[in-house]
Chains A and B, each alone.
Chain A
Amino acid sequence: MEAPPVTVMPVTGGTINMMEYLLQGSVLDQALESLLHRLRGLCDNMEPETFTDHELVYLLKGQQGNPFILRARRSLSHPTSPWHLRYLGQPEVGDKSRHALVRNCVDVAASHSLPEFLNEMGFRMDHEFVANGHIFRKGAMKIVVSKLSRILVPGNTDNTERLSLSYLVELSVLAPAGQDTVSEDMRSFAEQLKPLVHLEKIDPSKQRH
């Protein structure tokens, strides 16, 4: 194992700059079973894990352009677990040959008073949704197959309607900055899921309108 790369900024805290490498795709409902079978064979052998999460996205609007976005997530299937707060940076505009979307990622756990805390800080909840599905792991790679649902009445997570007739498939790896072999491994894993799912790097800014 090589030593983690030296970061550019002086490391004052105990954290290393973690980057999230991401590939996304989707699969229609009727192909979901075959995808799950394939993932069960390809990934690490463990009990299939399902999850139900409620994610809220908070925005802090400053005076200049881009608002600051934080994502708060809690588990509906384990109501007593802590909340999970995540910051995702802008995708790194590196060389185009990199196969995965790379962005800075900071994850922390938080207590159940997180929404009030964020409101007091000045964040405003922009949107929320419920995601439930399956999660698989292969080494450092995490594969999440989830069904997204819109929340109809704010705060009421029982009343949801599905966003589309497909499941979202995400392949992600959390790694320190600078490890480019990660995207190669991700791409070869994505090859094994074709033609059921096409996992590719989708730039969110290109999606926006």
Chain B
Amino acid sequence: MQQREEKQLEASVESLVSRVAHVKSALHSFIYKLENEYERLTWPSVLDNFALLSGQLNTINKLLKNEKTPSFRNQVIIPLLLSPDRDEDLAKLTEQRVPVFSHEIVPDYLRTKPDPEVEEQEKQLSAEAARIGPDVAQKQIQTLNKLCSNLLEKLNNPRDDRDAESAAIRQNKPSFNPADTNALVGAVAFGKGLSKCRPPGQVAAGHPGQGPMISGGPTLQQVTIGGGSSQQAGIGGPVAPQQQGQPGKMPSSIKTNIKSASSSMHPYPR
């Protein structure tokens, strides 16, 4: 009987030690990441680390609550020998954190009762709980339960509550306009709305009118130059490309390294 208990105790202590070691290594790597890889750290990975730690603490809790685990409260640790000398084995065992098994470390490491301040607070809380009486306490418990279940319901059923309320809100504040997307992509890809030489292309809804081509036409409110100079720009516009178009015909016969359509065109066959 005794041996079985001893074996159980030993096994549970071993598993507890291994779980704590996992938590320790997780904390170690997290601290390392926070200190050294600060620039590359992203919020999702920080959340992952916290989630890992919380999961590990959960397993420790489960282990302690397990029926097979004997009650550790019944075990007592009594230090048999305290010495102010440095103990090498202990230092190695604890990775240099506890080099001396002396009178200073005993109150911290072998503590079984909570701190005096914590004990005070606990006493106050239990006195208060005893004071208010069982009925009031029961009512408070019920209110808390109701609040929690309401919140859980709201979080777990997005379709019923959230969509009805927030659909209205979302419609008022859309954050992007697909017509604008198309206009911008067109402008970047082939100069829709920018080109001076091409005739005005299809104007999307809400798209501002072509600038220089429309003489004296309406322009956006941010235009600082008047309608007169936009005419000037319009006239200056078509002229310039023509001038550039002229020399454009000649050098295209030059063999260039650019793989373009013009390399296959030779006005003077060689």
Binding site for B on A (CB under 8 A): 24-28, 30-31, 34-35, 41-46, 57, 60-68, 119-129, 148, 150-154, 159, 161-166, 168, 195-198, 202, 204, 207-209
Going nearest first, the 8 A-B pairs with the smallest beta carbon separation are A62-B261, A31-B175, A127-B191, A204-B189, A166-B180, A68-B260, A26-B181, A127-B194
Chain A residues with CB under 8 Å of B208's CB are 161, 163-164
Closest chain-B Cβ to A54's Cβ sits at a distance in Å of 12
Chain B residues with CB under 8 Å of A153's CB are 225, 229, 233
A121 to B248, CA, bound (A): 8
A123 to B258, CA, bound (A): 11
Binding site for A on B (CB under 8 A): 38-44, 170, 173-178, 180-198, 201-202, 206-208, 211-212, 219-220, 222-225, 229-230, 233, 236-237, 240-241, 244-245, 247-252, 256, 258, 260-262, 264-265
Query: Contact: B262 with A63, CB < 8 Å?
Result: yes
Chain B residues with CB under 8 Å of A164's CB are 180, 183-184, 206-208
Query: Contact: B220 with A127, CB < 8 Å?
Result: no
Given contacts A148-B187, A159-B224, A202-B182, contact A60 B258 (CB under 8 A): yes
Q: A207 is contacted by which of B42, B189, B256 (Cβ under 8 Å)?
A: B189
Given contacts A28-B174, A148-B184, A152-B230, contact A161 B223 (CB under 8 A): yes
Which residue of A42, A64, A152 has the most chain B CB atoms within 10 A of its CB atom? A152
Query: Contact: B194 with A128, CB < 8 Å?
Result: yes
Closest chain-A Cβ to B250's Cβ sits at a distance in Å of 8
Query: Contact: A122 with B248, CB < 8 Å?
Result: yes
Chain B residues with CB under 8 Å of A26's CB are 176-177, 180-181, 184
A67 to B206, CA, bound (A): 30
Query: Contact: B264 with A62, CB < 8 Å?
Result: yes
Closest chain-A Cβ to B163's Cβ sits at a distance in Å of 13
Query: Contact: A150 with B188, CB < 8 Å?
Result: no
Query: Contact: B244 with A126, CB < 8 Å?
Result: no
Given contacts A122-B252, A154-B196, 6 further A-B contacts (CB under 8 A): A28-B180, A45-B39, A62-B264, A129-B191, A150-B194, A152-B212
Q: B244 is contacted by which of A124, A166, A207 (Cβ under 8 Å)?
A: A124
A166 to B193, CA, bound (A): 15
A151 to B220, CA, bound (A): 13
Q: B185 is contacted by which of A24, A28, A63, A123 (Cβ under 8 Å)?
A: A24
Chain A residues with CB under 8 Å of B249's CB are 122
A106 to B29, CA, bound (A): 41
Chain B residues with CB under 8 Å of A43's CB are 42
Given contacts A122-B251, A208-B186, contact A129 B39 (CB under 8 A): no
22 intermolecular pairs with C-beta atoms under 8 Å apart: A24-B184, A26-B177, A27-B175, A28-B174, A42-B42, A44-B40, A45-B38, A45-B40, A61-B262, A64-B264, A65-B261, A121-B256, A148-B188, A151-B194, A152-B223, A153-B229, A154-B233, A159-B225, A165-B206, A166-B177, A207-B182, A207-B186
A63 to B182, CA, bound (A): 30
Query: Contact: B223 with A124, CB < 8 Å?
Result: no
A83 to B180, CA, bound (A): 29
Query: Contact: B189 with A163, CB < 8 Å?
Result: no
Chain B residues with CB under 8 Å of A148's CB are 184, 187-188
Query: Contact: A60 with B207, CB < 8 Å?
Result: no
